[in-house]
Chain A
């Protein structure tokens, strides 16, 4: 995400590299963001914006796959031990508040970044559960979490038959695996039939007004799903979406032009009026201007709705909301009228769970290229913040199967301004 065009406006940058989007005032005097965050700016009193995020070792995670893995695990990828995602660690250490749902869910988990989720050396049962699909599709549902091809009555008959035939195993009473499997079977059957599971994933249960508030596209509905899952007691929800080319809006099919790479990697034509189709295809094909609906348009609406919705329901007090990116974008506009990857400085925003509202932490120079504040925080610090907020003792190691002690977010320190 281009910090220069969003959280960290740079009106004094040289005109040839300046963002065309003007700084606007928020509902907190003295704090400005760009007009691309017009709706979100009205909730600045609930947000802490960290403008001094950086990757401590430049180049290590300057690609989308590495950057994504860094964000998920909170540790620079490529170390001696493959690190699990923070969400998996948290699922393991904290368990669930809702047995009828997976404790670690990603919405929808279909783009390239989501391929970088890792469960590392911890048990695979803590692997992130990906909902898949396009949430704007009126027929969207989560595979394997609803009964497929069989109605509830027959499923119940089957289960009755099963319990009359399943005499168990001799000696299984003492078998850990047999016991674990039995309880997982019960939990799974409950998930498949529990109306609350379906309700948690059923966007139809939300009033039309709420759904519209988030935006009736894939992004809006994904953010709404995030709120629903948090509300249902899911421990860790990751929302990471990109508007698909063939999608739905207001329940009707729409096709956004452009190639599959059309949003969120702004190497080309970041300020194009709509989308551009660059000749020759490849990675440059079909970019969208950052202000367009599939980009910041839908994001500003969905994010502002999410903050407000969580707040009004009282969920924000106990939910830590993190708005993050792998890295920022270059302060200079390149020859293809785009902005490339930039790891030296970028912005994160946080809300909820005791995070002070209405504050900006850190600053960058007039181009947005380098940090000028005395503070600078890393993705490791972001991870340490999450663990700290959840009350996880990072001094207590978890051991790999071959006995190596692992300390989570070991290179990070919680960001003090967020406490």
Chain B
């Protein structure tokens, strides 16, 4: 195929070249060949009037003046002997003279291990992940992936394999040559040809003694590729030669075009040969990734068609976005789609911004509104709504992995709410990011600190931060340099150094003073990314570096995410995979969006507003012959399956199983009023209730107060913990305020005392006992370690460790009438301590069950006080306890707690995982990757929609929403609700006919709702 193409070009060149070129350019501009192995790939470019370039490398006439100095192999210059000469390059009337210097042709120049031997192995694919570069190698022979670890490779090649891989005395006997030549069987197949340059290089390397890395071996510091700017290829010039120069730290430069490797990002657009020749195929853009050792650059190629049928009709342009998108479409000859209808726009923008279908009333009003700026106004209204903030927060919460399973104790809500508020108030994105990345403290108090609380180690923090804020999938670099991008293992651990000092202690985020990050391979201590820290917290510098306006990723990644949310595809796709080998489909567009985002103070809502107002966003999904194949240039809107949460809410809304969004506030107010009324009723009986409780308590033989705890007191061993008095054990009750006794609600029932692991020491617990009369009392103890107990200062139980039989642990003493104070000291060798104590006999009799108070200890304590001695807080506690006993109030509060709006999955920070949501791609939030949410149709989804439990349940009550309407209105409302449009006459006819022919109107309504839910118009956004 390449041959045919070449012929075709030769035939047509004379006519094409003749008129157009303004000038020609040759790369490189001078040649200095200072080794026998030097060579130079020439790239010859013709520039047209319109600024486009054509590769003429294979069409130009190249003549070398002195063939004793240099020679030519097609367009590659080879040295012959020391001296100077010229190369003359001619294309029609244009000509360029290129000076050549050749030197050191008789000097020895041994092959270099890293920059030549390993580079050759990489070029031949030997150290690819599927071959010897896999973690365990292949057939016992292992190389580092793409040669990133020269020390490993040296050992493996030169010393490994019982020295059979290399035979210095008889190079041709080396397995390293015989295998890839297939002289002995090689699972990897034939990789070398006998006369190829790779073979010669490897053989020469062995012949010279197979030397490994030598001291001061020149290192490659960067590569330069030509062409640097994007090249547009037009037939018949569908070729582009690439040239690659490597710069070494000894200030030498070498042409490594034949040692570099090339990879295309889109095979159907352009392919690339191993000599760096790109061949254009179909219309579109591709990146050619050029890699040499650890350096990586990309050459961007666009293949533009020449279609005579194409006529550019300038479409309506609303803002700068349109112009930048249209420039690209014009270049690629793709037809832009027209502007969509009001119905389509309304449904699309409402779903994109709020996640919800537009309420039926809004649809009617919007469709009948004649004002010319109604779309702009709607966009503004939606951007200012709470629904917008909640829905965008949901998407952010996906990436930040907010789940109540990990962020327990209400911290998930706390963090999600913080994000929602930040979005609602439109806090600048750089500020939000800095607050998240530099957060410290208790994550129950500092909401953004939950970002770190949800990530359990440095690695996951590095990977999440890089992916969320820098669009970099850096995880590969944890173990090896990334094969397709610039991220190296050094970078990974340098970012690691930013986060390695974080100390996560049960949700407390603190910074350790040290904890340097060392590189696992080299053992080097890494300097934190973003610069050496001035303070103990390297995150500050990092956050500063990340959020500057000039940061290459920060603004781009965010505008690209927003673009993708609105357009269904990123300008860079996947949205969190920014790398030079995955170029944006429209570079100027991404640059412009990012620039204006950064210069406008990282105003997110402004980005949404700009995009939604563009004609590009408002295009129809209508594809024509001239744009149907376009998948990345935004010529027409994408048909997208609603996301799991959107679909859940849409079905809920159409079936009437949730309140319409506008109803929410009214219902909440209503519930709050009812709650207030009920509180007033309950409170009016407060004093009666208190009296009756006090009276009841006074009739009991005894009742108990709450358990209060104190400690931990550290001891050197259990004996000391048990015996030493850490407080005045016999008189503590005389001044309870002297110690900081803490109410322990958990101990009222469970009596579990937790000690830290391996902590030896004691804790105290005291409790009041009210006794009606002086009485003998018998306690039963269950404890799994030491306990001492005093009653009114008198030690009556003393057991340093648990006895074999718990049934024998009884102790008797005497209660005085009135208040008694019982004190327990528990000690343990660390860990949980189970401890229960019970009064089992009073004056020799079992206490009657009716005699217990049923009130929590802290309530009985307050009730025991005379009314006037109670503090306001205590009075409040009594009141709220009394309120908690009221069932009606409990129900109202439950409903309020549910917050009706939370029935909408799009409006919750973490919709629970249901079969339905999971089937439609709801992410589990275990990864920072946007790819965790999947949007592909599956069979399971179809089953869910046609006959799933959730749809079935919602459908059952769906008749109620519509049954009171006349047939005609019913159909109209249904269509407005589901599709945001009026039904056509024929649709009304069909639906009414169905209702007429049904035996049961309610069933017919359910059937209609079912049918609408299952249409493509409903389940897709369009």
A positions within 8 Å CB-CB of B: 80, 102, 123-125, 127, 129, 143-145, 147-150, 154-155, 157-158, 161-162, 164-175, 177-178, 180-182, 184-185, 187-189, 191-192, 395, 397, 401-405, 407, 410-411
Q: Which residues of A contact B822 (CB under 8 A)?
A: none
- Provide the residues of chain A in CB contact with B935, threshold 8 Å: 177
A-B contact count (CB 8 A): 157
Within the complex, the shortest CB–CB distance from A57 to chain B, in Å, comes to 12
Known contacts A161-B1011, A166-B1014; is A407 also within 8 Å of B130 by CB?
Answer: yes
The reply to whether B479 and A192 contact each other, CB–CB distance below 8 Å, is no
B1008 within 8 A of A: yes
Flag if B1020 contacts A411 (CB, 8 Å).
no
Bound-state CA distance A368–B991 (Å) is 72
**Given contacts A170-B1022, A177-B641, A149 and B1007 within 8 Å (CB-CB):** no
**Chain B 442-462 residues near chain A, CB threshold 8 A:** none
Q: Across the interface, do B994 and A161 meet the contact criterion of CB distance under 8 Å?
A: yes
Q: Which of A125, A149, A169 contacts B1016 (CB 8 A)?
A: A169
Task: State whether B938 touches A125 (Cβ < 8 A).
Answer: yes
Q: B948, A181: Cβ atoms under 8 Å?
A: no
Whether A145 touches B484, Cβ cut-off 8 Å, given contacts A170-B620, A170-B621, A177-B640, is no
Interface residues of B in 984-1003 (CB under 8 A from A): 987, 990-991, 994, 1003
Q: How far is the CB of A95 from chain B (nearest CB, A)?
A: 12
Q: Which residue of A lies closest to B134 (CB)?
A: A410
Q: Which residue of A124, A167, A168, A404 is within 8 Å of B938 (Cβ)?
A: A124
The 10 closest A-B pairs by CB, nearest first: A188-B942, A171-B621, A125-B938, A175-B639, A181-B937, A184-B942, A166-B1015, A162-B1011, A180-B937, A171-B623
B943 and A191 contacting across the interface, CB-CB below 8 Å? yes
Contact: B939 with A177, CB < 8 Å? Answer: no
User: Which residues of chain B are near A149, meaning CB under 8 Å?
Assistant: 952, 956
> Which residues of A have CB within 8 Å of B938?
123-125, 184
**What residues on B are CB-neighbors of A168 within 8 Å?**
1016-1017
B925-950 interface with A by 8 A CB criterion: 931, 934-949
Asked if B638 is at the interface of the complex by the 8 Å CB criterion, the answer is: yes
Instruction: Tell me if B857 is interfacial: C-beta within 8 Å of chain A.
Output: no
Specify which chain A residues have a CB less than 8 angstroms from the CB of B994 in the assembled complex.
157, 161
Q: Could you tell me if B639 and A124 are in contact, using CB atoms closer than 8 angstroms?
A: no
Across the interface, A402 reaches (CB within 8 A) one of B473, B479, B949, B991, namely: B473
B476 touches A171 (CB 8 A): no
Q: Is B921 an interface residue (CB 8 A)?
A: yes
- Which residue of chain B lies nearest to A121 when distances are taken between CB atoms in the complex? B931
Interchain residue pairs with CB less than 8 A apart (8)? A129-B940, A169-B639, A171-B621, A177-B640, A177-B935, A182-B1016, A192-B946, A407-B130
Chain B: interface size category: 35 or more
Q: Which of A102, A143, A161, A166 contacts B1017 (CB 8 A)?
A: A166
Q: Do A184 and B952 touch (CB < 8 A)?
A: no
Instruction: Tell whether B71 is near chain A: CB-to-CB under 8 Å.
Output: no
Residue of A nearest to B1021 (CB): A169
Residue pair A181, B941 in contact (C-beta under 8 Å): yes
Q: Give the distance to chain A from B885, nearest Cβ to Cβ, in Å.
A: 35
Smallest Cβ distance from B607 to chain A, in angstroms?
26
Known: A149-B952, A181-B941, A402-B931. 14 other contacts (CB 8 A): A80-B475, A80-B476, A102-B939, A125-B937, A144-B944, A157-B994, A165-B987, A170-B621, A171-B636, A175-B639, A177-B640, A184-B941, A188-B942, A405-B130
Which residues of chain A are within 8 angstroms of B944 by Cβ–Cβ distance?
144
**B260 lies within 8 A of chain A by Cβ:** no
Asked if B731 is at the interface of the complex by the 8 Å CB criterion, the answer is no
Q: Is B628 an interface residue (CB 8 A)?
A: yes
B653 at the interface (CB under 8 A from A): no
Complex interface bits, B611-631 against A, C-beta within 8 A gives 1, otherwise 0: 000000000111100001000
For A157, the chain B residues whose CB sits under 8 A away are: 994, 1007
Most chain B beta carbons < 10 A, residue from A145, A154, A174, A187: A174
Q: Kindly state whether residue B574 has any CB partner on chain A within 8 Å.
A: yes
Q: In the complex, what residues of B have CB within 8 A of residue A148's CB? A: 947, 949, 952
A69 to B958, CA, bound (A): 43
Q: Which residue of A has the minimal Cβ distance to B1013?
A: A162
A143 pairs with B949, CB closer than 8 A: yes
Q: Does B129 contact A (CB under 8 A)?
A: yes
What distance in Å separates the Cβ of B235 from its nearest Cβ neighbour in chain A? 25
* Residues of chain A lying within 8 A (CB to CB) of residue B628: 174
A110–B644 Cα distance when bound, in Å, is: 25
A187 to B637, CA, bound (A): 28
Kindly identify which residue among B577, B943, B1020 contacts A188, using a CB–CB cutoff of 8 Å. Answer: B943
Q: How far is the CB of A403 from chain B (nearest CB, A)?
A: 6
A161 proximity list for chain B (CB < 8 A):
990, 994, 1007-1008, 1011
Which single member of A155, A177, A410 contacts B1020 (CB below 8 Å)?
A177
In the complex, which of the residues A145, A166, A189, A405 contacts B129, with contact meaning CB atoms closer than 8 Å? A405
Contacting residue for B639 out of A80, A155, A178, A192, CB 8 A = A178
Q: Does B290 contact A (CB under 8 A)?
A: no
Given A182-B1016, A185-B942, A188-B946, are A404 and B476 neighbors across the interface (CB < 8 Å)?
Answer: yes
A88 to chain B, nearest CB (A): 12
Task: Return chain A residues, CB-CB under 8 Å to B878.
Answer: none
In the complex with contacts A144-B943, A166-B1014, A189-B946, A174-B623 CB distance below 8 A: yes
Is B1012 an interface residue, CB under 8 A from the partner? Answer: yes
Which chain B residue has the least Cβ–Cβ distance from A146? B947
> Are A154 and B1011 in touch, CB under 8 angstroms?
no
- Cβ of B558 within 8 Å of any chain A Cβ, yes or no, is no
Check if B1010 is an interface residue, CB within 8 A of chain A.
yes
- Shortest C-beta distance, A233 to chain B (Å), equals 15
Q: Which residues on A sit within 8 Å (CB–CB) of B952?
A: 148-149
Whether A125 contacts B639 by the Cβ 8 Å rule is no
Question: Is B937 touching A397 in the complex (CB atoms < 8 A)?
Answer: no
Least CB separation from A143: chain B residue: B949
Chain A residue, CB-CB nearest to B621? A171
Q: Write the chain A residue with the least CB distance to B640.
A: A177
Query: Once the chains are docked, how many angstroms separate the CA of A257 from the CA of B940?
Result: 37
**Cβ distance B998 to chain A, nearest Cβ, rounded Å:** 8
A102 to chain B, nearest CB (A): 7
- Contact call B622/A170, Cβ cutoff below 8 A: yes
Q: Which residues of B contact A410 (CB under 8 A)?
A: 134
Let me know if B1019 is at the binding interface, CB within 8 A. yes
Identify which of residues 509-559 in chain B touch chain A, using a CB-to-CB cut-off of 8 Å: none
Residue of B nearest to A119 (CB): B934
Q: Does B136 have its Cβ within 8 Å of any Cβ on chain A? A: yes
Selected contact of B1010 from candidates A158, A164, A181, A403, CB within 8 Å: A158
Given A80-B475, A171-B636, A174-B628, are A184 and B937 neighbors across the interface (CB < 8 Å)? yes
CB pair A177 B942 closer than 8 Å = no
Cβ contacts under 8 Å, B638 to chain A: 175
**Residue among B622, B637, B942, B1019 having the largest count of chain A Cβ atoms under 10 Å:** B942
Check A171–B943 contact: CB distance below 8 A. no
Contacts of A187 in B (CB 8 A): 939, 942
Q: Do A192 and B947 contact each other (CB < 8 Å), given the known contacts A80-B479, A158-B1011?
A: yes
- For the complex formed, measure the closest distance between the CB of A389 and the CB atoms of chain B, giving whole angstroms: 21
Kindly state the separation between the CA atoms of A171 and B473 in the bound complex, as whole angstroms: 34
Residues of B within 8 A of A167 (CB): 1015, 1017
Which chain A residues border B941 with CB–CB below 8 Å? Answer: 181, 184
Cβ contact within 8 Å between A147 and B947: yes
Q: Say yes or no: A171-B1016 contact (C-beta < 8 A), given A80-B475, A187-B939.
A: no
With contact pairs A170-B1022, A171-B639, A405-B130 given, residues A181 and B1016 touching in the complex (Cβ less than 8 Å): yes
**A175 surroundings in chain B (CB, below 8 A):** 621, 638-639, 1020
Contact A165/B1012 with A124-B921, A144-B944, A181-B1019 known, Cβ cut-off 8 Å: yes
Output the residue of B621, B945, B1016, B1017 with the most chain A CB within 10 A: B1016
> Which residues of the other chain, A, contact B479 by a CB distance below 8 angstroms?
80
CB distance from A211 to the nearest CB of B (A): 28
Min Cβ gap B970→A in Å is: 14
CB distance from A115 to the nearest CB of B (A): 13
From A186, which residue of chain B is reached at the shortest CB distance?
B942
What CA separation (Å) do A149 and B947 show in the bound complex? 9
